[in-house]
Each structure stands twice: as structure tokens, then as C-alpha cells.
Structure 1
Amino acid sequence: MADPEPDAVSVPLPVSVEAVLRELALFELRCDGADVTDKLLELCLSHSLDPVTLANELLAFVTSKALDPQLSPEALSAFEHEVLSRRDRRIPPPRRTDSRCLHDVHTLQGLHLLEEEEEEQLLDSYCTPAKGPQKRSSSTPENPHPKRSSSTHSPYKLLTPNSFSPSAAPSPQYSARTNRGSVVASFGPIHDITWEGRGGVDCTPKPFSPPERSLSRSYSFMFQRAADVREVLLWRMEQIGAALRSHHCIPEFGSLLLPAQDSVTVLGRIGCDSNGKLNPKSAVLEGDRERSAGAQIPLELSELQEFSLFPGQVVVVEGTNSTGRRLVVSKLYEGVPLPFHTPKDPAQGAAGGGQCVVLVVSGPFTPSDSVAFEPLQDLIEVIARQRPDVCVLFGPFIDTKHEQVESCRLLLPFAELFRLCVRSLLDGTRSAGTHLVFVPSQRDAHHDFVYPQPPFVCPELPKEDKARVHFMPDPCTLDINGVVLGLTSTDLLFHMGAEEISSSSGTSDRFTRILQHILTQRSFYPLYPPAEEMNVDYESFSSFASLPVTPHVLIIPSELRYFVKEVLGCVCINPGRLTKGRAAGTYGQLCLQPRWDGEQKNPCVAAQVVRI
């Protein structure tokens, strides 16, 4: 048998009504009447379609238009006019398959544009059409269609939703908000403050801790042993116990194991005697290793008028242990905060030349029902308008709890989408000169799921932006002209709020109690055992999750209600989330005025929480 000619054109097979009806039945598309079947056969013959292609095109048309699966002559006429006629105009002339055909830059560009147009048409056919009339701009030599690569020149075009999601549309609930820009919480004389910065002039953030105490790269985790965890917990107990003993002038600590009729003072860690939540009847004290050999004893708290306890809290307890089986507590020492940082050179703060405006923003940066990243674009406009000196950006940037991330409907890899967010922020804030500080979150889909969490890695930064972009770990302490900021994206308020128990004779604020625990326990995450959603590596925890000093400002984003308050001399702020589900959220602003003239005043003179 002779071989077929290489340039022979294949002749389509004959089309039968039975074949067409069989393919339509696979997609539950029905048709009754000879006029409908004749029309289907006519469409196949006049537009050179095989039954499979016709069924696929009809399914896309019926789905996008939300039509009845029962096909009618009117629907087929509309299908021919809107789909097949446009498809015929789009079919290119036959291409030579000869390998000797050479392409120049113009033919390659034409083929590339044709492939892009076919992809866009295919996506459009499966997407729900937007309401209202839409006009497609025509491409001319004077006004050509923009190439995809040209979007990198505009920060607002980088995050074009159709580039990474086939069903992207702005969130109607976010777009319909009416209270944008309103102040919902404040601290200090906010009306006397000018909330416009100087674009980072004489205001450079840097890690407060030395390099050997700062987490700067990824590390191996999931290899810790129970003995290593125990050593870290006992080390923390000894550190805090020494501070309590020195502060309260306690002669020595006793043992939990020895019954005594007299009052005894013991050091230990609060725990629970069961797998349930802590309550006053289930509280136990786990003693230290040196004096109590790590033994546990139930606590009787009925004689205490006021207390606030949580699992993992290191305390010193004074009480009676007459039987050796229960400790009746009469006094509780809960902890002592670290001192504040004061620069060795008082002129360090004055070198900043005045106040420093800091923006504090926590993700998610797009509503849960959209990937249009409208909140991120609105934030870029705020930065460009106010020119803050520093903007601290907490994750999640690519939220694991987002609807389209959970259902795997994004077309781009998570890491690539994060790079688009970074590029949008860089291009949109370059003229403002604002320093950008990125802090990761455990909910970032593209990053290491471990605590402490290493900083993001983004080596493709432009040279002109490297000096003003800072990737920090979670948690960390930041130094801005001598002012120390404690940063963590972990929702510790929510985790500790679910475990803390308290008793108070007067009005008691749970947020204030939890913040006091964080400062007096000298840790960014003093809760033990940690929340189920946390993956804590305690070997790194001992090195990178402790507070080196009491920060002047503690920034602790949470799902709970936003606030700004001063606790133990530290200004604590929960800026809220930029988006909360499908609704718009809030962000924070700080005004720092470093002053080291001997007055014990916090350099954060004002703060506020603003709706995006």
C-alpha cells in the first residue's frame, strides 16, 4: 500500500442524526421534533463540525447563557449566530506542516496572539457573562491589544483576576461598603497628628535582635523529640522563676512532693488534668525538675479572690499542701515584664528628624468570594496618597481558607500569585518611597507551615527596591529609630482567649489580661499545649519566639475585634483584618516620636484603626 501524501487534507467522516443525538445525550441535552434534529444536522454540515465538537460547543453555550437543556429552534439559531459565526471567522487558513517552513518574528508574534485569543474565547465561553452591555475593543495598528507582558508596567494590571482564575469577579459586598476611611478605634491625640509621612526619609526599619538570634532562612522541622520539648519548657520555667524570685524577694522555692502544714512557695507551670478545656476544678501545677521532679498536683483556687490562668503559664504559687495530694492556693505570682529598650546613644532617636508614620495591615488581601484583590489595590492607593514611612504587611497573602484556594480553582501556582502581589505593591508604592515589611502567616498557602516561621524568599526584587523591602519572620522584633515593635501574625488572642480562665471581683477586660500574660511570660506564644492548628518547633521556639525586651508597641492581628490600648506601658494594637470574609475590614496607623530625654513615656504617641 502506498504511503499517503504528506500534504493530503483529511476528509471529515459523514455525520448522522443518531451520532449527534448520542453525543448530546451524554450532556443531558434533549431535543424533540424533526425541525430541531434537521437544524442540528445542518449546523454540522455547514460549519464542518463533527458530533463531538458540536456537543461541546452547545454545552458551553447553554451553560453560559443558563438556557433550558431542552433545545429549541430559537436557541439553535442564537447559538449559530453568537458562537459558530464567530468561530468561522476565527479559523485560520491551513498551515503548512512542512518542517522546512521558517518563521520570523512577525509570524511568531501573529501565532502567539492567535493562541492567546483562542484561549480567551474558550474561557469566555465557560464564564457567566457580566450584566450590562459589553464592547470588545478592536485591535488596530494605532490601538493594538495590550500584550500580557505589558501588564508589568502598571501595578493595577498585574493582578488581573482572569489571569489566574476562570471565575473572577469583584466582590459585590466589598464594593458596596459605605463607611470607608472612618476611624473605629484610637489612642492618644489623633486629631493633633498629621498622618502623612515622609516616604521613609531618615526612617529605616531593621531587626532588633542580633543576626544569631534572628530567624533568617528556612530550617528542617518535624524532627523534634519529646525530650527536647521538655527541655525547652523546663528552661522557660527556670528563666521566669528566677525573675519572679528576684522581683518578689522570695528566699527559696519548695517542693510539691513533700506534705507540709506550713505555707510553702513553689514554682511550676499551669496545666489541665484532662483533655478538655481548663477550668477551676481541673487546674494542676506541674513542678520544676530540680525541686519537684516534674510532679503534678491539683490546685484548690477557692481562696483566691482574683486570678487569671491559662495552660502553659509559669507561676509561683504560695499555699498549703498538708496531705501532699492537693495544694490550697493563698497567693499567686503571675510574672514580671522585661524592661523597655533605651538606645545607648540618645541621639539615635533624634536622628530621625521627627515623627515616623507606620501603617499596619493584616491579610487576607482579597474577599473570600473573589480573587480580584480590590482591597490590596485600595491599600496601594492609601500608601501612595499618605506616603507613610513604614508599612508592615502581615499574611496571609494567599489564604488557605479562601474559597478558591480550598477548591483548587486558581490557574497559577500559589508562589507565582504571591510574587504578583509583591510586584504590585512594589510598583504601586515606588513613588512614595515607603519601606515595606513582610511578615508571613501560618495561613499562607505557599510558605512553610511551622512556628516560628521563616521569612519569605523573593530573590527577583528590582535593584531600586531592595533597600526598602524587608522580609521578616513570624514572630520578630523590629527597630525603627530606636522604637521596638513586637510583630506576630499568629492569632494568639483567639488561641489564648479560648483557654484562659479568670475570676475577678470587678470589671475585667479579657484582652488586657491576655496582653499582660504575653508581656509577663516574655514570649510571643506562651500557650502550652498549643492550639491544634499550630505546628510548633520547640527547638527553634526557644531561640526565636522569646521577647528580648518589652516592646514599645505590640502588633498582634486577630480575628477578634480591633482595639488599641496601653498595657504595662506597652501600646498594643489589633488592627483587624483587611477583609473579613466577604466584607471590608480595617488597618492600623501608628505615629512614633522617638524621645530619650529621661521621661518614661511611650514613643508611640498616637494610634488609630481605620476602615479600608
Structure 2
Amino acid sequence: MSTKSEIVVHFGPEADEPEIVSELEKLTKLHALSIEDLYIRWEQFSYQKHDINTDLSAGNLDKFKQFLQHQMEKKAAKISTASTFSSASKRPKVIRGLNSSPSLFGFSLSKTANLKKRKINEGLTSDDKGDALPLNFSTNSEKDTGLGSSPNTTASELVTAPASPLKDEKESGEILDSLNLENVEIAQGLVTDVDNKLKIAPFYDPEKYHFRTMRQNLLDVADVLDEQIEMFKTIVQDHYGLSASDFGDPTIQSQSEVHSVGRIVPELSASDEFLNIESLALETSRMGGVGRRIRLDLTNINEVSFFCGQIVALKGKNANSEYFTVSEVLPLPYPDSPVSTSEELHETNILMNGAPSKIIITSGPYIADDCFSLSHLENFVERMNGEVKPHVLIMFGPFIDISHPMIANGTIPDFPNLKVQPKTLDEVFIKVIAPVLKKIESQIQVILIPSTRDALSKHAAYPQDSLNRKELHLPKNFKCFTNPATFQLNEVFFGCSNVDIFKDLKEITKGGSISMRNRFDRISEHLLRQRRFYPVFPGGTKKKLLSEIQGEKVYEQASGADLEVSYLGLTEFVGNFAPDVIVIPSELQRFARVVQNVVMINPGRFIKPTGAKGTYAQISIKCPNLEDNTLTKVEGESTVFLHNVWKRARVDLATV
């Protein structure tokens, strides 16, 4: 692929101009960046400069150059003051045994329905195995250019401040991207004269989420981190047919090659901002290497993609007690796929009367940064009731964002339509936001998934307990699930997590072909192989701007992933299989993709910080039919069928 073609692929058709291509090529050479890395920087620039129009114009390219220069100067200043990295390996004190504390991995699901899974790698055609087949992915080349909101102040709208008029505001419901466009039609949704019902079944034990936060025990944390490594050691041993004698301690000097399973960590003194392929180490479990770390020598490896916290299986030897020279990286196997029996699929067909299902997904915040207007949410609810009529509406928080500028500054406005003004943030939701949500038709089932930034949640750590429906004064068609949550909509398994893994996962790559692949695909594959919704450790952090003095910005560390490490077992894939659909909202570009036969969705933000309309995801899923070729039959002890949702689902990303 030529440089020009690669630029157009990443930046879109608007980059197909000789002047723009020339400028972008110069920037890649000047800053020693790949086209994809340059595009990631452009996404960062666009997000930080949301108050201006960030089309690929000459003026914006000049601002982008200044942005890159400022980043380079900041990095150079940090490097000049950074201490010299130590080459010594950390040797932590040996602590109590692996079995001294009960593990949360593979926790019991006695309070939920029985799960079914089958291994699918045998006896299937190539179309039904690992790699995702190319699906029709239609993209509108236009980009959102909204610069502000202009809600008309009415008695029904709780508006506090007028916003600047929007430029090029798109119409509500306008489809921007589509996945599987030609194979599946948009579902009609709820039909009043047909009794088609969509059954919701959660697959987690809510009692396990009722733990107290900020009470982590170091020994329990060590047990959980050890258990992650030991669990994958068993998976690798079974998958590759290895014996226990094939595994060894990579921290001990030896002239023989051994297999080892461990966690990727930075070298002793390396910061995650300066990680590279030369500054990585392997952390062992207490069973596999007394918890020690050993630096990795990846000279013999041509292509690899690592990140901090990743569990990896390596083959190599430690010839000098300083490095573990890796000769082979053993890819972790993908998890199995969910299946259903013919009886279960027939029951779904009867429930839906053969009609397709329609699911809408939104992600907060639902309030702009510069005002407290709910006009977009009110209009959205009206469209759901009158036009869209989905069977299920999945809403991710935050519903009241603690990082909202007005809330952070304590300047919550008065609401002219309320006789008694709310005194707490809970009351703001109950008196201001809940009345809007209550207008959703009772036939539409609504699922609420919290965020760690939610002011409504008393549980601000991940994994996170659910919101309380009764305390929020919401009707019975609302269901509050945990974060993350795995649940079944008819036969389709959904996995939802409200922590931005696509932004927090920082890859260290080696090899050109890996870098050429789409970053969202790479991260999705990491997530599937690690069998967890958030495999990064330690979790990502966010910075808050405090002040800016003479062009120098001062930040403080704000809330990030906030991992409750002792309970990370609750972030694993339930039943040890991959859901049919995984939804993880992200601040990055919206997308819908098929990765290893799993539909991965980022619905995008509901409303932009400036008040411009955001996006939502609409999923139309054909009803399962045993007579057509959309389902794959798997023979075994009992005959079951793969759901193949990636073949019979259409995903549309549309304007709010």
C-alpha cells in the first residue's frame, strides 16, 4: 500500500488532496511516526481542540504542527530530568502460599441459569473459525463538526445558559457508519399488534459486587495476580499439549530453553510514558518463579505487541541471569463461543414471532459541559417512543458526571420549573433527569450500566456494583446491571464494560505488519485472548488541568480506571467464553467491527462537551432460524448451534 493510500485509509477521503498528503508525509518523517501513530496524534489533537472545527484544513494542520512540537518539547524536558534506568531486576519478598486465600476466578454461578459452551475449533470450515470475515462496512466520509449547542429555551427544558449555534449539525437518526449493511435490514422494532417479547437474563451474581471499596488487602491482591498467571498456565499447557516439565523458572540461569507464563511489566525504574521494546520485564507467579522479575530480550522476535499487565506465554532461556532471551511467543488461544440447543432457539423464535430484535445503545455523559440542558435527551426519548421503538435500550453512565465542570465547581444551577430545588446530586437526578427517562414507553426495556464517574453510584471502583432502581425512583421496565455485566437478550450473549480500554491500553509493538493493522482490532484481540474486559494493569489514570502559567500547563491526577484488584475475577468473561457482542464505550472514534467472530461496538459519546449531538448504536438481529445457513451446527455429546450473531446482526451508528 502506498503512503498516499495509507493516509486516505486512516484520515478519510478528505485527506485525498496533494497539499494535505504532502504535509502529512512531512510530519511522519519529521517526528519519526507511522501513519497510524500520526492519526492517533490527530485524534488526540481533535479531542483536545473540540472548541474549534478540526477538519483537515491548512489552518488546522498548522495548529496540529504546533501541537506535535509542544508534545515533543514536553517529552524532551521530562527525559532530561529523568533518572538513569536501573538494569537490576526486582526481587520481592516471598509471601504466603497461593492457596491461602480463596480465588474469585471461575466463581460459582449458582444463582443464575446454566451456561453452555462448546469448543468450536474442530470440524468447522474456515468461515466459522478464528479470523473475522470481511463484512460490508459503509462509512459516511463526513465528520462531525458541531461546535456548540443551541437549545431553544422552553418551559419543558431545564436550560441554564444559552450555547453558541451549531455548525453543520446533523439531523437526528442520520446513519454515519454501518456494519453488515447489505446482509441485514433494519429491524422494525416493537409492533403493537404482535406479541413479540425479548427476554433478558443476567449472567452474574450481584451479591459478589457488594464488597466495600478502598479496603484492599495486599495479600489478597497478590493471590489474585498470581491466580491470573496460574490460570493461563493451565490454558497454555492444555492448548499446546505441554507437560509440567516443559515449564521452568525464567529468572534462573540455564542453558536449556523453557516455557514460562507471566505478566508483562515495565523494567524496574521505567515509566509507562517511556516504555519501549527494550524496557520490558516478565513477572512470574510465586509458583513459577517466586514472584521475581526478569528483563526480556526480544532481539530474536520479529513481530510482537505487548502492554503492561498482559499475560503472555514465552519460550526461551536465561543464559546470563540478566535477560530472558525469548525465542518464541506462544499466542494465547481464543475463548470458546456460546451455543444454544435447537429447543432454545425454537423458543426464541416463538417469543419473537420470527421478527428481528432491535437494541439501542447510548453512552454518557448526557449533559454538555457548558450548560445543564436536557433537550437532546428529551428529543431522543421522543424518537425512541415514536419512530425507533426498540425492544431494549442499553444506557451507559455517567448520568451525572462528577467531573462535569459545573458540578466540580459547585455551580449547579436553579431549575425554574421546580418549586423545590434539589439539594443533592441524587435529587438532581430524581427531580430533573428521571422525569425525562420515565417518559420512555413501558414496553421498552431499559438497562442502566454505571460508570466509575457516576455521582449516583456509591461504588466508585471497577468492578462496580449496580445502581439502585428504587432509590432513583425509576419504573419497573428499568433494570440496573453491574459494571462489567454479562447478560442474555434472548439467545444472544452481551458483554458490557464501562471502562475505556481502547484509550488506556498502550501497546509496545515491534514489526511493521502489526503496526499496519487497525488499532481497535489489535486491542479487541488482546481483550479476547486475555479473557477479561480490562486486562491492563495497573489501570489507566486521567489528569485534570489545574492551571496554565506562561503556556505551561499544570495537571493533577484525577480518577481513572480505579481497579479493585482483589475482585478482578469479576471482570473475566463469564463461563470462560467470549460474548456474541461486546460493548465498551470509548472517548475515541465510534466504531462497529467484527473481531474473531465477535461484534465489537463503541457507540460514541451521547453528547459532545460543547453540546453538539453525539452518536448512538442501533443493532438489528435476525431471529434465529434453523432452516437457513446463518447458524452453524456443532456435533458433540449433544447437537448445538453457534449463534453467529456477526452474520445476522446489523449495527448502525447514528446521530442522536
Q: Same-fold call, TM > 0.5?
A: yes
Equivalent position of 2:266 in the other structure: 272
Which residue pairs with 2:624 in the alignment? Answer: 595
Q: Deviations along 1:218-263, whole A, 9 cap, x unmatched?
A: 4311111221111001111111221122112222311113322232
Q: CA deviation at 1:176?
A: 6.8
Contact 2:465–2:483 (Cα < 8 Å) also in 1 = yes
Q: What's 1:551 paired with?
A: 579
Counterpart of 1:96 in structure 2 is none
Identify the range of structure 1 (542-551 vs 397-406) with the bigger mean alpha-carbon deviation: 542-551
Q: Is contact 1:304-1:329 (8 Å) kept?
A: yes
Q: Distance in 1 between matches of 2:430 and 2:338?
A: 35
Q: Please give the residue correspondences for 1:183-332 in structure 2 after superposition, counting only pairs within 5 Å.
A: 183-189=175-181, 192-198=184-190, 201-209=196-204, 213-214=205-206, 218-251=210-243, 252-273=246-267, 274-277=269-272, 278-332=275-329
Cα pair distance change 1:365/1:481, threshold 3 Å: same
CA distance in 2, matches of 1:438, 1:328: 48
Contact 1:257 1:292 in 2 (8 A): yes
Q: Could you say which residue in structure 1 is the equivalent of 2:588?
A: 560
CA distance in 2, matches of 1:565, 1:530: 25
Q: Does residue 585 in structure 1 map to residue 614 in structure 2?
A: yes
Please report how far the alpha carbon of residue 457 of structure 1 lies from its aligned counterpart in structure 2 after TM superposition: 0.9
What is residue 402 of structure 2 aligned with on the other side? Answer: 400
Cα 1:250–1:171, aligned 2, differ >3 Å: closer, same or farther? farther
SS at match of 1:342: strand
Offset at residue 174 of structure 1 (A): 5.3
After TM superposition, the structure 1 = structure 2 runs for residues 28-39 of structure 1, keeping only pairs within 5 Å, are none
Q: Which moved more, 1:559-568 or 1:334-343?
A: 334-343
- Cα distance in structure 1, aligned partners of 2:435 and 2:308: 42
Structure 1 counterpart SS, 2:503 = helix
Please give the residue correspondences for 1:61-460 in structure 2 after superposition, counting only pairs within 5 Å. Answer: 160-161=158-159, 168-173=160-165, 177-189=169-181, 192-198=184-190, 201-209=196-204, 213-214=205-206, 218-251=210-243, 252-273=246-267, 274-277=269-272, 278-344=275-341, 345-351=344-350, 352-353=352-353, 354-384=355-385, 385-411=387-413, 412=422, 413-420=424-431, 423-430=434-441, 433-447=443-457, 448-459=459-470
Question: 1:48-72: per-residue Cα shift (whole Å, max 9, x none)?
Answer: xxxxxxxxxxxxxxxxxxxxxxxxx
C-alpha distance in structure 2 between counterparts of 1:484 and 1:569, whole Å: 13
1:517 aligns with 2:514: no
The separation in 2 between residues aligned to 1:382 and 1:217, in whole angstroms, is: 35
Distance 2:645 2:573 in 1: 22
Counterpart amino acid of residue 399 in structure 2: F
Quote the offset at 1:443 in angstroms. Answer: 1.4
The residue type paired with residue 370 of structure 1 is C
> Does 2:503 match 1:494?
yes
**Identity of aligned pairs, percent?**
26
Q: Determine if contact 1:441/1:489 at 8 Å carries over to the other structure.
A: yes
Residues in 1 aligned to 2:653 and 2:293: alpha-carbon distance in whole angstroms: 44
**Alpha-carbon distance in 1 for matches of 2:400, 2:473:** 22
CA–CA distance in structure 1, aligned partners of residues 433 and 335 of structure 2: 36
Residues 461/490 of structure 1: CA separation in 2 closer, same or farther (3 Å cut): closer
- Residues of 1 paired with 2:189 and 2:596: CA distance? 28
Q: Note the alpha carbon deviations across 1:491-545, whole angstroms, 9 max, x for none.
A: 111111xx21112332221111111111110111111111232222223322355
Q: Distance in 1 between matches of 2:473 and 2:465?
A: 22
Distance 1:416 1:609, change over 3 A: same
Q: Which amino acid aligns with 1:559?
A: E
**Contact kept? 2:578, 2:598, Cα under 8 Å:** yes
CA distance in 1, matches of 2:431, 2:617: 24
Cα separation, 2, equivalents of 1:216 and 1:326: 41
Which SS does the other structure have where 2:482 is aligned? coil
Deviates more, 1:245-254 or 1:476-485: 245-254
Question: CA 1:215–1:173 in structure 2 vs 1: closer, same or farther (change >3 Å)?
Answer: farther
Cα distance change, pair 429–201 in 1 and its aligned pair in 2 (3 A): farther
2:94 maps to: none
SS at match of 1:229: helix
Matched position secondary structure for 2:233: helix
The structure-2 alpha-carbon separation of the partners of 1:239 and 1:188, relative to structure 1 and needing over 3 Å to count, comes to same
What amino acid is aligned across from residue 446 of structure 1 in structure 2?
L
More displaced, 436-445 or 537-546?
A: 537-546
Structure number with greater CO (CA < 8 Å, separation at least 6) is 2
Paired letter, 2:509:
S
CA distance in 2, matches of 1:359, 1:486: 15
Check whether the contact 1:198–1:387 (CA below 8 A) recurs between aligned residues: yes
- Distance of aligned partners of 1:537 and 1:596 in 2 relative to their CA distance in 1, 3 Å threshold: farther
**C-alpha displacement of 1:160:** 2.6
Shift of 1:175: 8.7
**Distance in 1 of aligned mates of 2:340 and 2:167:** 46
Q: Tell me the residue number matched to 2:491.
A: 482
Point out the more displaced range, 479-488 or 178-187. Answer: 178-187
Q: Deviations over 1:553-610 (max 9, x none)?
A: 0001100001111111100011110112112211101112353745146225210111
Is 1:536–2:563 an aligned residue pair?
A: yes
Q: Quick one: distance in 2 between partners of 1:469 and 1:309?
A: 40
Name the SS for the 1:591 alignment partner: strand
Q: Tell me the secondary structure at the aligned position of residue 579 of structure 2.
A: coil
CA distance in 2, matches of 1:417, 1:461: 10
Which has the larger displacement, 449-458 or 412-421? 412-421
Quote the Cα distance in structure 1 between the aligned partners of 2:393 and 2:462. 23
Aligned equivalents of 1:545, 1:475: Cα separation in 2: 9
Larger Rg: 1
Deviation at residue 416 of structure 1 after TM alignment: 1.4
Higher mean C-alpha deviation, range 506-515 or range 178-187: 178-187
CA–CA separation in structure 2 for the residues paired with 1:505 and 1:410:
51
AA partner of residue 478 (structure 2): V
Give the CA RMSD over aligned residues. Answer: 2.6
Structure 2 Cα separation of the partners of residues 569 and 296 of structure 1? 36
Deviations 1:403-438 (A, max 9, x none): 21111111532111222465334432126x211000
- Partner residue in 2 for 1:569: 597
- Displacement of 1:171 in angstroms is 3.4
The equivalent of 1:611 in structure 2 is 655
Conserved 8 A contact 1:361-1:393: yes
Unpaired runs of 5+ in structure 1? 1-130, 135-155, 162-167
Q: 1:254 to 1:421 in 2, by over 3 A?
A: farther
Give the match's secondary structure for 1:262: coil
Would the aligned equivalents of 2:360 and 2:390 in 1 still touch at CA under 8 Å?
Answer: yes
Bigger mean CA deviation after superposition, 543-552 or 375-384? 543-552
Which letter does structure 2 place at the counterpart of 1:429? Answer: I
Cα separation, 2, equivalents of 1:158 and 1:449: 32
Could you list the runs of 5+ residues in structure 2 that have no partner in the other structure? 1-149, 414-421, 542-559, 633-641
Q: Which residue of the other structure, out of 504, 524, 530, is the alignment partner of 2:511? A: 504
Once residues 539 and 381 of structure 2 are traced to their aligned partners in structure 1, the CA distance between those partners, rounded to angstroms, is 35
**Contact map agreement 1:174 1:367 (CA 8 A) in 2:** no
4+ aligned runs moved over 6 Å, structure 1:
none
**CA 1:573 to 1:190, structure 2 compared with 1: closer, same or farther past 3 Å?**
farther
Shift of 1:157: 6.7
The alignment covers a number of residue pairs equal to 446
Q: 1:437 is matched by which residue type in structure 2?
A: I
Counterpart-to-counterpart distance in 2, 1:426 and 1:190: 34
Q: Which amino acid aligns with 1:569?
A: N
Q: Which residue of 1 aligns with 2:98?
A: none
